[in-house]
Amino acid sequence: MNKLLTLLLLSFIVAGCGDNKVVDTGSGYIEGVNYRTLATPIVTDSEQIEVMEFFWYGCPHCESFEKPLHQWQEVMPEGAVLVQSPAIWNEPMKLHAKVFFIVQNMPNNQLIHAALFAEIMGLREVRDLNLQTEKLAVFLKGYGLSQADFKQQLSSVEIEQKLQRAIELMSQSKIEGTPAIVVNGRYVVLNESAKTVKQIMDITSYLVEKEQARLAMP
């Protein structure tokens, strides 16, 4: 893919799908090194500080990032909320994004979400989107969604609107790879500056607290 995360297992995640340049920033986090500030902030829908992770089901680094991301979610700073948004660069990713939004409305959505990584990574060599769609319909049927309902939802106004919003968020954040974290529509964590996944989450916590301080100013 583009630039990303990796670490042996965690090393694999920190370098991701791109360059593995590590910068020792000591005890502080620096703009332009550990994070960048968006020239035009993204307007978020939440009253809380929104931590948005852009991901793709076809990205093995995103799958590896799931566990530490949700572990961090359990201890993230008070007043923050984690939101996951599908990354979209091409037509297959549009289909995968729609599947994500459909699954969010299903019972056991987190279980299905986790299983979709392996399913969609197995479809990366299937170039025919109609065939991908059929295979995903069969997959979701195993979780109780009929193939007719799946295809109806794929073309629904609700799912199309969510897809367009995800595309807008991608464009506004100017991310170049996945997984990528944007804090409150203002700061993008620079994964390549981190030595470990934990440090990526530490940078995220730092940016949440930085945003809390900014919002508390009179």
| Any domain includes 92 | yes
43 neighbors 172 (Cβ within 8 angstroms): no
| Any domain includes 49 | yes
- 31: helix, strand or coil: strand
| Any domain includes 5 | no
| Any domain includes 151 | yes
| pLDDT, tens only, 7-64 | 333 444 444 443 333 333 444 899 999 999 999 999 987 889 999 999 999 999 999 9
The pLDDT, as a whole number, for residue 3 is 43
Of the candidates 152, 66, 75, 50, which has an alpha carbon nearest to the alpha carbon of residue 113? Answer: 66
**What is the residue range of 60's domain?**
10-216
How many residues in total does the chain contain?
218
| Any domain includes 133 | yes
| Any domain includes 175 | yes
| pLDDT, tens only, 60-114 | 999 999 999 999 999 999 999 999 999 999 999 999 999 999 999 999 999 999 9
Of the candidates 115, 30, 121, 42, which has an alpha carbon nearest to the alpha carbon of residue 83? Answer: 42
What predicted TM-score, i.e. pTM, was given to this entire model? 0.86
The pLDDT, as a whole number, for residue 218 is 82
Domain tally for the chain?
1
Tokens 């994070």, residue? 35
Q: Write the burial class of residue 13 (CB in 10 Å: 0-12 exposed, 13-18 middle, 19+ buried).
A: buried
Q: What percent of the chain has pLDDT over 70?
A: 88
CATH number at residue 60: 3.40.30.10
The pLDDT, as a whole number, for residue 119 is 98
| Any domain includes 152 | yes
Q: What percent of the chain has pLDDT over 90?
A: 81
Which stretches of the chain are assigned E, i.e. beta strand?
35-37, 49-55, 80-86, 180-183, 187-189
| Any domain includes 118 | yes
Of the candidates 120, 65, 61, 114, which has an alpha carbon nearest to the alpha carbon of residue 95? Answer: 120
